[in-house]
A and B are shown apart, each in its own frame.
Chain A
Amino acid sequence: MRVSYNWLKQYIDPGVDAEEMGRLYTAAGLELDEIVSRCKDLQGVKVARVLSCEPVAGSDHLHLLSVDIADEAPLSIVCGAPNIAAGQIVPCATVGTVLPGDFEITARKTFGVMSCGMICSQKELGISEDHSGIWVLDAYFVGQEAPIGAELADALNLKDDVLVIELTPNRSDCMGMLNCAREAAALTGKKVKVPDLSYEELGPEAKEDISIRIEDYTLCPRYVGRIVKNVQIGPSPLWMQNYLLAAGMRPINNVVDISNFVMLEMNQPLHTFDYQQLRGKQIIVRGAKPGESMQTLDGKDHVFSGGEILICDAERPVCIGGVMGGMDTEVTEATTEILIEAAAFHPVSIRKASRKHGIPSEASQRFEKGIDIAACDLAARRAAQLMVQYCGAVADKGLVEDLAPVYADGFPQKEVRLRPERVNQILGTNYTVQEIREVMERLQFAVAEDGDVLVVAIPSYRQDIEIQEDLIEEVARLKGYELIPQTLPVNRSQAGRTEKQKLQLHVCKLCAALGLHEAVNYSFISPKDMDRMQLPAEDDWRRMLVIDNPLSEEQSVMRRSLLPGLFATAARNLSRRHLDLRFFETGAVFVPDQEKPSEIQPQEIQILAMVLGGAPNAAWYSKAQPYDFFTLKGILEALFQGLGLDSMSFRRASRPYLHPGRTAEIALDGQVIGVMGEVHPLVAEAYELTGVGRVLAAELELDKLLNAALERGNKAHDLPKYPASTRDIALIGPAAVPAAEIEAAIRSAGGDYLENVRLFDLYDKEPIPAGQRSLAFALQFRAEERTLTDSEVDAAFAAIVAAAEEKFSYKLR
């Protein structure tokens, strides 16, 4: 809302300057964005008269003017505006004037003639966007001597401060100047002067000229019409134009300007019809039928889908109620008789119609937020009064209206019961009943007492106040939020992270400690990501939750995997020449419901994902050793160990997006909790993750991991009391047997004293025969309660050798 301070002062003398008023508004919740000064910097722009106007030789559009600014001699000025003419009164920027945009006027030579000043358009003066020609001022000085040579800003009273206020949705009442003045009055303790709406009604009874019928009171609970005749279309008074310009609206003519002025003053949008174009002396308000159509005054044809509010005459729709008028009944230069409409419309219908037909306007915005139904006629009267005064109009007697039956006995007075002790209970303050009453009185809310309760009458323009808490806020903000104490509530709760929350935090810290950088990616991805991942058409991951109104296709589906995001992260880093790629991310994936994916909430599964690629940068002490499958596996093993989960197993598996020979499922006690592997070269290529060696990826279900860790957890072991015996064993056999299975066989054959088994060497070159390999394990034996004898260890060793031979044909090397 743009509040012209000059305009505001028509209703109240706030006794403070605009800046202070802005501060008061902000402190009360009407947040001041900025104060725009209008025409404060027009020093040197004078009211001038064009004495003569001759074409400049050699130019097709320039004129040489002789301009009187009541100086000793007239100024000689070259002007290129199409509408310049001798005799006009115009704004003249004299040499030395600095116009908006830091444009300094200097004397200069054009086509061989000196130009000492500039005749200005409204745009050049920063008054409006109008740059169609110079601003001709004659109309402002009709019937009076023009003050030639006077400062323009003073002569036309242009200097103003505009308070640009960001209104919260609940205070749409302040989209009307009068309500801004009421708010100012509550803040300053001054009184509001409500405009006098009296005028003479010299025409016939309005109801002889028009009848009004509402067919659907939900869509339109009230419709008021007033009629004025003998209207002379012309410019509106300068003061009104100034106010409209300050408010950001362009002056058009007296009728349109009055309609806009009243809307801005009273927050009641009006519509004006050319009465003579209305057929059958009739207004009918009804819902649109599907397929009906109408041309609006911007020349567009609209086909209605049904439900829009239509204002019709006896034969046809003439206006989309609250949104835009029709072409046929538009007020034009030729109009002499006008029907003024002041109505209340259903906010949701207006909202839908203005969205659907793409024409949000000052009027529709106000209807959407709700207007004061009790005040419709005040606005109609105000408009009629101004048209009588400024358009030479003759007003019909009285009004014509239709009104929802619930209002037949008048508009109900809203009352809210306020318990003063509740005010202090909610706010934590100690305001007295008297102080609370005073706030209500400053707001012009009438207060009656019912025992301990204050019964507060809410004026109809304050639609936002419905319950006691709304009044408590009024007390808080008018007394000042700065008076609210700062206390801490009594704490009655044991709090903290749950064990699982703690563990999840631990997982993230472990991942960072293991050298990975945590990334955060959007939860939505592109459906094309599933192509990049080389997933077959029937893959379940292609079944994703689809956003109805995405910002782009790239962000249109909810991810089933964190890997697309991490691949993109790695690729982006690679493109910036980061060649050591180590990332992890935790976050949700979304598994849509099988039956009704867009109606039933998806399963949200928390995932831990990792991506590795490239190599540590080469250094003086070593060459770059590229990351491979076992780098990532090592990180995972360290993570599992950190969570007390030593018995995690890795088994050959396959995924479409991973290397067919280098993929493992990660399982705990037979339950698969994730997958890891080398990224398929085609996937790496699709994500432009090439030229960096092998890329590795892992994804784990965080919940399963955390639950397993919670169940087992890290436990302390006593330090051993007796020494261990160590033996190395080298076994040779078929290379196809997984090392983990041989290790498992060793563990089970080794007996109770076998404490630890560690693979320390793998050899499959000469002289080992093709298809075979040698595995060397370090074995550690220990008894808890004594030192083992050599023969005990020998026996265990022999059992291990026998088992390896029997199960896998592995022989001692």
Chain B
Amino acid sequence: MQEQLAAIEARALADIAAAQDAEKLNELRVAYLGKKGEITAVMKMMGKLSPEERPVLGALVNQTKDRVEGVIAERMAELKRLALDARLAAETIDVSLPGRKLGRGSRHILSIVKEQMEDIFINLGYSIAEGPQVELDYYNFEALNLPPEHPARDMQDSFYFSERMLLRTQTSSVQVRTMEAMGGKLPVKIISPGAVYRRDDDATHSPMFHQMEGLLIDENVTFADLNGTLLAFARQMFGEDREIRIRPSYFPFTEPSAEVDISCFNCGGAGCRLCKGSGWIEILGSGQVHPKVLQMSGYDSEKCSGFAFGMGIERVAMLKYAINDLRLMFDNDETFLESF
């Protein structure tokens, strides 16, 4: 009987190994282990055995049953795996096809650069002040030590609505309004970014552009502080190893005044096309706030002092991102917009 069992097992294992799908395996399970299965049949023949032999053979049959059961389960798992592998193989795709486009949008380079500039000054303790673009002559010029007919008004040809109202030519108007609103309190520490307008339209001038001006008024604010602040800005904006150079200049609202150059980040100061061989790039105008400006806005020029600076956001953006044509800024071409 033992030989018979061994023969059945051997046949069962061979059949299982040959089975190619779950259905066939289930058939085999019924054929060998079902109620009428061959192994079950062996079990039924145990009644003919002696009481001593019975448990021995019983154990043997059960072991055989378990083994066959186990092999069926294994084969079942194996077949599943094979089927899965086959499906996955059939699902192979061309991974080089382009991805599904999500229609990414973009922020304008002027917004991006403006935010970068704001962040630098926020970290230095400045707040952002805003003001009207259609401005009174008083705030745009007079309160900045530019009385009517001052020759320096020629430096900024303006768009007028009437003798007393114009499109602001500089965001300094916001500084005056802020000083007035602060009513003599210290410190005044603001930047004023925004659109400004000058009557100029050629390859390097746009009738509307954007400026960021800064103003600090406090006790004992020095020209050296201005120099250091602008150095900090230059390094954060254009790289840690930048230097700045200040040169005497003239603005009616500052005294002393300074034009500020940064060392060329393209050539490192050796001289190249970008810096026209000088190693320096002009970036902004600045100076110590003129005492008349302080006085007109309610600050005692003997008790406090301050500095102001102003720069074009377009210029900073063009330098930092190697944009060669100012007109691109207002052309809004998708290809240009998308590149940032």
A777 shortest CB reach to chain B, Å: 29
Interface string of B172-201 (1 = CB under 8 A from A): 000000000000001101000001010101
B259 shortest CB reach to chain A, Å: 8
Q: Pick the most buried of A493, A548, A616: most chain B CB atoms within 10 A of its CB.
A: A493
Contact A620 B333 (CB under 8 A): no
5 contacts between A and B (CB under 8 A): A469-B290, A477-B256, A484-B224, A520-B108, A573-B334
Which of A39-47, A509-517, A642-650, A723-731 is found at the contact surface with chain B?
A: A509-517
Residues in B with CB closer than 8 Å to A347 are 149, 151
Determine the distance from Cα of A368 to Cα of B149 in the docked complex, in whole angstroms.
Answer: 10
Q: Which residue of A lies closest to B224 (CB)?
A: A428
Residues in B with CB closer than 8 Å to A425 are 220, 222, 305
Q: Which residue of A lies closest to B306 (CB)?
A: A489
Q: Which residue of A lies closest to B260 (CB)?
A: A481
Q: Which residues of A540-590 are within 8 A (CB) of B?
A: 545-551, 555, 558, 569, 572-573, 576, 578, 580-584, 587-588, 590
Determine the distance from Cα of A141 to Cα of B149 in the docked complex, in whole angstroms.
Answer: 50
A501 at the interface (CB under 8 A from B): yes
Determine the distance from Cα of A601 to Cα of B167 in the docked complex, in whole angstroms.
Answer: 10
Interface string of B192-234 (1 = CB under 8 A from A): 0001010101000001100000001010111111011101100
Residues in B with CB closer than 8 Å to A545 are 134, 161
Determine the distance from Cα of A472 to Cα of B338 in the docked complex, in whole angstroms.
Answer: 49
Q: Which residue of A lies closest to B251 (CB)?
A: A168
A573 shortest CB reach to chain B, Å: 5
Residues in A with CB closer than 8 Å to B257 are 473
Contact A517 B334 (CB under 8 A): yes
Q: Which residue of A lies closest to B243 (CB)?
A: A486
Determine the distance from Cα of A587 to Cα of B330 in the docked complex, in whole angstroms.
Answer: 14
Interface size class of B (residues with CB under 8 A): 35 or more
Q: Pick the most buried of B98, B101, B154: most chain A CB atoms within 10 A of its CB.
A: B101
Q: Which residues of B6-54 are within 8 A (CB) of A?
A: none
Which of B55-63, B69-77, B110-118 is found at the contact surface with chain A?
A: B110-118
Q: Pick the most buried of B133, B199, B223: most chain A CB atoms within 10 A of its CB.
A: B223
A482 at the interface (CB under 8 A from B): yes
Residues in A with CB closer than 8 Å to B195 are 523, 587
A334 at the interface (CB under 8 A from B): no
Determine the distance from Cα of A489 to Cα of B304 in the docked complex, in whole angstroms.
Answer: 13
Q: Which residue of B lies closest to A422 (CB)?
A: B302
Residues in B with CB closer than 8 Å to A27 are 247-248
Residues in B with CB closer than 8 Å to A389 are none
A517 shortest CB reach to chain B, Å: 4
Determine the distance from Cα of A22 to Cα of B231 in the docked complex, in whole angstroms.
Answer: 26
Contact B159 A476 (CB under 8 A): no
Contact A485 B224 (CB under 8 A): yes
Contact B248 A481 (CB under 8 A): yes
Determine the distance from Cα of A524 to Cα of B330 in the docked complex, in whole angstroms.
Answer: 13
Which of B80-88, B122-130, B264-272, B318-326 is found at the contact surface with chain A?
A: B122-130
Residues in A with CB closer than 8 Å to B332 are 517, 519-521, 569, 572-573, 583
Contact B149 A515 (CB under 8 A): no
Contact B98 A519 (CB under 8 A): no
Determine the distance from Cα of A484 to Cα of B224 in the docked complex, in whole angstroms.
Answer: 6
Residues in B with CB closer than 8 Å to A486 are 224, 227-228, 231, 244
B72 shortest CB reach to chain A, Å: 39
Q: Which residue of B lies closest to A574 (CB)?
A: B334
A621 at the interface (CB under 8 A from B): yes
Contact A485 B228 (CB under 8 A): yes
A110 at the interface (CB under 8 A from B): no
Contact B248 A515 (CB under 8 A): no
Contact A493 B107 (CB under 8 A): no
Q: Pick the most buried of A487, A492, A511: most chain B CB atoms within 10 A of its CB.
A: A487
Determine the distance from Cα of A476 to Cα of B118 in the docked complex, in whole angstroms.
Answer: 30
B289 shortest CB reach to chain A, Å: 10
Interface string of B122-161 (1 = CB under 8 A from A): 1011111000111110000000000001011011000111
B169 at the interface (CB under 8 A from A): no
B273 at the interface (CB under 8 A from A): no
Contact A469 B288 (CB under 8 A): yes
Residues in A with CB closer than 8 Å to B218 are 489-490, 492
Neighbour of B256 across the interface among A171, A473, A524, CB < 8 A: A473
B245 at the interface (CB under 8 A from A): yes
Neighbour of B161 across the interface among A477, A496, A598, CB < 8 A: A598
Residues in B with CB closer than 8 Å to A491 are 124-125
Residues in B with CB closer than 8 Å to A469 are 255-256, 288, 290-291
Contact B248 A28 (CB under 8 A): yes
Contact B305 A517 (CB under 8 A): no
Determine the distance from Cα of A582 to Cα of B162 in the docked complex, in whole angstroms.
Answer: 38
Contact A601 B248 (CB under 8 A): no
A190 at the interface (CB under 8 A from B): no
Contact A522 B103 (CB under 8 A): no
Contact B330 A496 (CB under 8 A): no
A348 at the interface (CB under 8 A from B): yes
Q: Which residue of A lies closest to B103 (CB)?
A: A515
Contact B149 A598 (CB under 8 A): no
A207 at the interface (CB under 8 A from B): no
Residues in B with CB closer than 8 Å to A126 are none
A505 at the interface (CB under 8 A from B): yes
Residues in B with CB closer than 8 Å to A550 are 159
Interface string of A465-477 (1 = CB under 8 A from B): 0010110110011
Q: A469-B288, A481-B247 are in contact. Are A492 and B337 (CB under 8 A)?
A: no
| Top 6 closest pairs, chain A to chain B, by CB | A428-B224, A29-B248, A428-B222, A168-B250, A473-B256, A515-B103
Neighbour of B187 across the interface among A31, A493, A576, A622, CB < 8 A: A493
Neighbour of A496 across the interface among B122, B223, B228, B231, CB < 8 A: B122
Q: Which residues of A590-637 are within 8 A (CB) of B?
A: 590, 597-602, 604, 616-617, 619-622
Contact B101 A520 (CB under 8 A): no
A497 at the interface (CB under 8 A from B): yes
Contact B159 A604 (CB under 8 A): no
B331 at the interface (CB under 8 A from A): yes
Q: Which residue of B lies closest to A472 (CB)?
A: B256
B329 at the interface (CB under 8 A from A): yes
Contact A518 B337 (CB under 8 A): yes
A812 shortest CB reach to chain B, Å: 39
Q: Pick the most buried of A473, A509, A550: most chain B CB atoms within 10 A of its CB.
A: A473
Contact B101 A616 (CB under 8 A): yes
A569 shortest CB reach to chain B, Å: 4
Contact B105 A516 (CB under 8 A): yes
A508 at the interface (CB under 8 A from B): yes
A101 at the interface (CB under 8 A from B): no
Contact A489 B225 (CB under 8 A): yes
B68 at the interface (CB under 8 A from A): no
Contact B160 A521 (CB under 8 A): no
Q: Which residues of A2-30 are within 8 A (CB) of B?
A: 26-29
Contact A551 B247 (CB under 8 A): no
A429 at the interface (CB under 8 A from B): yes
Q: A484-B227, A486-B224 are in contact. Are A604 and B134 (CB under 8 A)?
A: yes
B102 at the interface (CB under 8 A from A): yes
Residues in A with CB closer than 8 Å to B338 are 517
A58 at the interface (CB under 8 A from B): no
Other A-B pairs, 11, CB within 8 Å; known A170-B250, A521-B332, A598-B161: A31-B249, A169-B152, A347-B149, A487-B227, A489-B229, A492-B187, A517-B337, A520-B108, A569-B332, A616-B101, A620-B98
Contact B229 A547 (CB under 8 A): no
Residues in A with CB closer than 8 Å to B330 are 520-522
B165 at the interface (CB under 8 A from A): yes
Contact A572 B255 (CB under 8 A): no
Determine the distance from Cα of A491 to Cα of B135 in the docked complex, in whole angstroms.
Answer: 31
Determine the distance from Cα of A617 to Cα of B105 in the docked complex, in whole angstroms.
Answer: 15
Determine the distance from Cα of A516 to Cα of B334 in the docked complex, in whole angstroms.
Answer: 10
Interface string of A407-429 (1 = CB under 8 A from B): 00000000000000000011111
Neighbour of B224 across the interface among A427, A551, A622, CB < 8 A: A427
Contact B110 A520 (CB under 8 A): yes
Residues in B with CB closer than 8 Å to A437 are none
B119 shortest CB reach to chain A, Å: 9
